[in-house]
Structure 1
Amino acid sequence: MNPMNSFKTFTRGAARAAVMTVAVPALAAQMSVIGATQAHADVVRNIVVQGNSRVDPETVRNYLTIEPGRNFGAAEINESVKALYGTGLFSDVKISRQGNNLVVSVKENNVVGTVRFQGNKKLKKDMLQPIIETKSRGVLTQEKLDGDVERIKEAYRRNGRSEAGVTVQTTPRDNGRIDVTFVINEGTRTGIASIDFVGNKAFSNSRLRDTMTTKRTNITSWLSKRDTFDESRFQSDQELIRRLYMRNGFADFRIVSAEANFDEAANRYRLVITVDEGPRYRFGTVNVDSSIPEVDAANLKGLVRTREGRVFNATLIERTTEDLNTAVARKGYSFAQIRPRGDRNYENHTIDLTYLIDEGPRLYVERINVRGNTRTRDYVIRREFDLSEGDAYNRVIIDKAERRLKNLGYFKTVSVTTQPGSTPDKVVIDVQVEDQSTGSFQVGGGYTTDQGGGFIASVSMTEKNFLGRGQYLKVSVGGGVDDRTANLSFTEPYFLGRRMSLGFDVFYNQAKDTDFRPYNMDSWGGTVRLGLPITDDFNVQFNYKLVQRDVTSYGSSYTQDGPIPGGNGLLPLLYPEGSWINSSVGYQLTYSTIDNLQDPHDGVFLRFAQDFAGVGGDGQFMRSIIDARYYKELWPDSGVIGFVKGGAGNITGLGKDVAVLDNFFRGGETIRGFESFGYGGRVQGVNDDYPIGGKNYWNVTAEAQFPLPLFPEEFGLRGAVFADAGSLWGSDLEGLPAGTYLQDDSTIRSSVGASIIWNSPFGLLRADFAEALTKADYDKTQVFRFSAGTQF
């Protein structure tokens, strides 16, 4: 062997021996520190905690999976480290062994002192504080701070300030506390420059934009704030567009893409939605097919809302499915599934529809998880589900609950999904919501020709989700030159935990004499009401009303010393001075399929109400009222809406005559072209005449509303043409003084005209121009009328 090679071999062997001599003890020592391998486990007598100042040592030991006197290994150490980090109390954790002791070294996270916001003017502290996780006296972590920065930015993005920037400043204090300041640069307000559509033919761009809640920036945007871009709202708008197409026959409709491009130079978003409409379908044959022997499909056919030959409407399919599901469940088949199956005929563009009723799998609801609600109470969300833990799982009921939650208006987003339960026959329902602002504050003013005319002002505060309990509260005050009003309304929609509402209304009104009302009167009172929903479309309400009227004085035709010459003493006879109380019980039946009560486009509304006065008080009568309305999109592509309204009423004395002030008084609010109190019975004296209303009335209206072509739809301006007709007559008035005459007959009054309607940030404002076509000689007419209010 080569001597040189022998020397090298010897050298390498000696080196290996030296390394092993040093490494093996060191490795053994290291193994004794970190624990044991899978083939060996260690035992310690004591657990020593180091580095803690606020956290009790026993608290640290409780999170460990290692106990003195018991074997442990690397797995237990890893689990213990993870458990301590998971508390959020520590920024660093080390575990080592020193002799018979296990040493746990920790570094505690700092505690938050005070939390401040700097630079926030548009979003106040009480709006930002609830959305952040960094709280005073809580543990300070970088993860929380990073998350809070993004949450604050998102809040500003939703309020139209996408350029907002947020930084964090920390200031150390004594005892490990750190003050946190979020420094906010709010930036300028972003808006939406354009909303464009590609591929739409059936509906115009303006019609589709009108469907969306997101609007383009205009001169009123600073009030409505509807031009702020919000990703979740943009997605909800896409669903609104899809539902518009699906209820108008476009069963194959889909949104190809929806882009939100931010133009930094203009500080505006440009939204582009590309759609594929597909053909328009009608319903072909419609059948119900049941595979359950005890369920007779023929008996269920009457519940089907879809009719052969009508335009395809996904909403009607949805409602029919729910009705069939309810009917089958009442027969004892809680696990039955109702599945609508459509067979398309692409040649004649029809869809044959069959509602299949099958016995579904026996699944039960194991748990309902509610997440994301920071303000709304859990029970407010859970009560919208017609099932609870342990009940039979039913997809139709889940879909119905999801729709109810969306319709509440409490949430920005709602998502209901299901997950497998702990066993194959159980399902977990996950409800993910995001709260949104449900309160509103409105200040309005203007000029009205109604109720005598003059300038008016109003202030109202409304909360649809009071204290997160789902309760409705509204307080309003207002008035003008001749009137003062104050109102308070409260409704609990789930009284005694059941789907029935209990509420009350309180009002006060001060009315001064005007050209049409020759007396001064203060009135106050209230209503207690109990509502019982029979179906989603039909409900019954019972009520008790107490109203006091105080006629305090008269106008220019009467003095404290008696009637002035020519007055004939009519006013004390028609409107007796003093206090008069009406105490009544009543009920109200309401059927409504209106798609949107604030901006109706389609549906039917029917209401019949009766009040029976005489439960104490002065009045003794029965008042009956009926109101019917029908809305229909005449040309959906251009946003032309047809509207037909009819109403009638009667008041009948029960054992005594009906007082004049209990009569119906009608005017321009029902037949435009007439003054307030402008038609109906009148008593004429020597120099003046006075309205006495009537015990019976009827009225009808036909109207077509359309967008004004020269104004963007975001302005909310619409035009209308209309025709009104009706009558008001009948009175129990007797014993008129000599020289006075009662003018009272059922002459038909009618008018035609045009209107400008503004759905403004202050509410619905309307200007009507009308010409009376037929009238009685003693009626009071009026060409122009301006009013403020709501549709219903």
Structure 2
Amino acid sequence: MLLLWTLLIWQAAAAPTSWPIESLTVENPGEYSEQEILNAAGLKLGQPAGKDELERARQRLLDTGLFGGVGYRYKPSGSGKGIAVTIELAEAGELYPVRFERMPVAAEQLAGCLESADPLFRKRLPATDRLLRRYSALLETCLEQMGKPLRVSARLWPDQSNQLALVFSPLAPAPAIASVQFTGNQAVPAEALVRAINAVAIGAPYIEENFRQFLDASVRPLYEARGRLGVSFPKISAAPAEGIDGVAVTVEVSEGDVYTLGKIDIEGGPLPAEEIQRMMGLEEGAVADMSRVAAALGRIEQRMRRDGYLKPEIDLKRNLDERARRADLIITVNEGRRYVFGKLEVRGLNLDAEAEVRRRWALKPGRPYDADYPELFLKRIAEEGLFDNLGKTRAEVKIDEEAARVDVILIFAGSR
């Protein structure tokens, strides 16, 4: 009897717990190849594997932070000599662009380092905690190997256009901008440049990408109003400011040549091209003052709004001939829906006064709605002194998007 029990125990202990992998399949690999997933999992054909080995492979994939869930299943292979393994992947959610800020080496180097360390690295990634911690650690290792040791943090953060991105940056907060100065400028006085940039940049965290957006929004228009359409800022440097917390930023300006206006083409829209040309008031051969061009586009939009087109889209494309220093403009107009006037409501007046207002009101139901008319109407009423003790007036509109109809409410206070 003892010999029998010993034999049974030996047979149980000798039962196999792993078998050769004869087939490997990955379900829902996303943008990765099947082989990339299997390499990351540490699995290959012919490898002995069972529940323990597959569980470790599952954990390796989970530890990447790239997947919302990882599962597996296995069964006897067709030959009966091994197992067929299937890896099941679930997406980790939305993917965000990767951005590097305030790092001591170029973004291309950092991305290359991550790609070398992790073949699953992509330019768009999910914002999982595991991934952010892992890639921050990888970047710290890369920077240390480059002789630039630095603690790295990662977060999901909006850019200037309010689009979310995965941002890797030094753990220490960005220093505030304390002052800005310019070099290389002649066409625009330094005082004007400093005044423009100070209004948006002083006190903001110094991040070069964001600072360049400040330059584009506040300084570039000063040059483009002088026809300097090729202005650029080739070098920006920052150093600790003297006597104050923050950094002093120095901007090198390359002003470029003065461009003149060339041909102006008008495409689309309900207005005749000749009318738009007259409305713009721009002459071929004049300095390409883009502030005048912007004002002209504003007049076109306002003209269309007076004719019922409340949401026009006007696109400006400029083709620069660097040799001739000429700017050809292509203006594309998409008028959108045309809105009509619906009904008028008057508040704050007695019956006789309301009747007089309605008599003077010129917009007719069903006709194109003039977006300027209500305010002009109220201004004329005030100038004519139609009512005694006329207080504050205002116009409100109610827009029925489905019917493309606009109702107007005129509100009078303190009148009789």
Q: TM-score, normalised by structure 1?
A: 0.25
- Relative contact order (alpha carbons < 8 A, sep ≥ 6): 1 or 2 greater? 2
